[in-house]
Amino acid sequence: MKSPEFITHGTSSVQDAEKIQNEGFKAEEGRATVSADLIYSFEWATDESKRKGSKSKTEIEDGETGRMIIMSVPEEQHIGYAVHTDVEIDDETKSISGYSSKYVSGRKQFAIYEESDIVNRRRNIEQYKTELAELQSQIRNLCERYNIDYTLIQTRDDFWRATNSLESSQKVNIRREGENIYDQMKAKRKLAEPEVLLPQENILMSVVPTEDLGNLLTELKLKIEAVEKVDIESFVDSIAQIISKNKDNFIASGVDTREIIGNLVESTIETEVMNLIRSLAGDVKRAQGYKVYNRGTDEVKEKEVNIEELVQKLERIQAIVSDDNFDIGMENLNRYIKKNIKRLLNELKED
């Protein structure tokens, strides 16, 4: 996959957007913080419920909408799938484990990396996160041994305060063990949660998610879901015009709005198409009797799949893409959709 040239980040706070605009975009390397999908960015800027997935502590007012931050990617940085987005398919046990939800929406939630070998870097960060979680488990087990309520322990200071009521000998022992673990956690966290900074000069736009823009992006999404031809030039012209005319938007000096939006509209279509195919692939596996787990192997992602309706849906899409005049607007996507719909339909009918 080619690293995107432009990316976007939806904030739910105007204050957060202004901070990014003035200081650059700071993120955790490997964490899902950026996207190449304008539709997804718009959702993040307008849906307050998505804020629970953000690490921002900024207060937002009732009804406040955020901003869509559009950035260029520096040559020394790279964009790819975030950590914990893989799945493993076991045909023998008919199970899919890993991170099924994140896998389906993987291209919607990209991460920034400092190294070009993203796969290897991602694996390393995932391992460090696993080791950090194991250290956190050691703190939990230590608290349980001394009858301390672990749910009250968020930081090292919390742990220290919680041990005050213990007898002197117990206090010495638990603090010695705890401090050793926390020292290890501090060192491991630097490896598991490294920071990256996308410089201020790479912040190209801060866009207000207006109703007009939302309507256009909704129309685009519906066309993709229906596998209809997308008039890319028309969408690019309309979106660029809305952004350029809104005086509340920040647009960096010298920026060619239409060129950037053209790039992002194409990457949005690619992302939404891949999301559609991956979602259908998951439904086919469920129809074949596979259990689909999410976030490891302990949580089954339940979803009822009507096999007859799924076959009809795949056949409908196949009929559309098999037409000689079919063209979703990008030749590479035409081939991708045709190939995968045929494969999924064959898998479902052969089962």
Model pLDDT for residues 211-249, shown as the tens digit of each residue? 999 999 999 999 999 999 899 999 999 999 999 999 999
Predicted local distance difference test score (pLDDT) of residue 54: 64
Our count of domains for the chain comes to 2
178 shares its domain with 276: no
- What are the DSSP E strand ranges found in the chain? 6-10, 25-28, 68-72, 78-81, 87-90, 95-98, 110-113, 195-198, 203-207, 250-251, 291-292
Segment 312-333 mean pLDDT: 92
Residues 171-192: tens digit of each pLDDT: 999 999 999 999 999 999 999 9
Contacts of 66 (CB under 8 A, 6+ apart): 10, 11, 12, 13, 14, 16, 17, 44, 45, 46, 60, 209
Model confidence at 1: pLDDT above 60: no
In a domain, 344, yes or no: no
180 shares its domain with 202: no
Select from 175, 193, 211 the last residue of a domain.
193
37 pLDDT tier (thresholds 50, 70, 90): very high
Predicted local distance difference test score (pLDDT) of residue 100: 85
Q: How far is CA 312 from CA 10, 89, 288, 317, 320, in A?
A: 36, 25, 16, 9, 12
Residues 106-133: tens digit of each pLDDT: 889 899 999 999 999 999 999 999 999 9
146 shares its domain with 266: no
Residues 131-172: tens digit of each pLDDT: 999 999 999 999 999 999 999 999 999 999 999 988 888 999
CA separation for the pair 131, 9 (Å, rounded): 29
SS3 state at 133: helix
SS3 state at 311: helix
Higher pLDDT pick, 351 / 332: 332
CA separation for the pair 134, 144 (Å, rounded): 15
Model confidence at 260: pLDDT above 70: yes
303 shares its domain with 156: no
Predicted local distance difference test score (pLDDT) of residue 101: 84
219 shares its domain with 319: yes
User: Which residue range is the domain that position 16 belongs to?
Assistant: 6-114+196-339
Percent of all residues in the chain with a pLDDT value above 90, rounded to a whole number? 75
In a domain, 252, yes or no: yes
In a domain, 349, yes or no: no
Select from 174, 193, 212 the last residue of a domain.
193
Segment 257-286 mean pLDDT: 95
212 shares its domain with 100: yes
Higher pLDDT pick, 257 / 296: 257
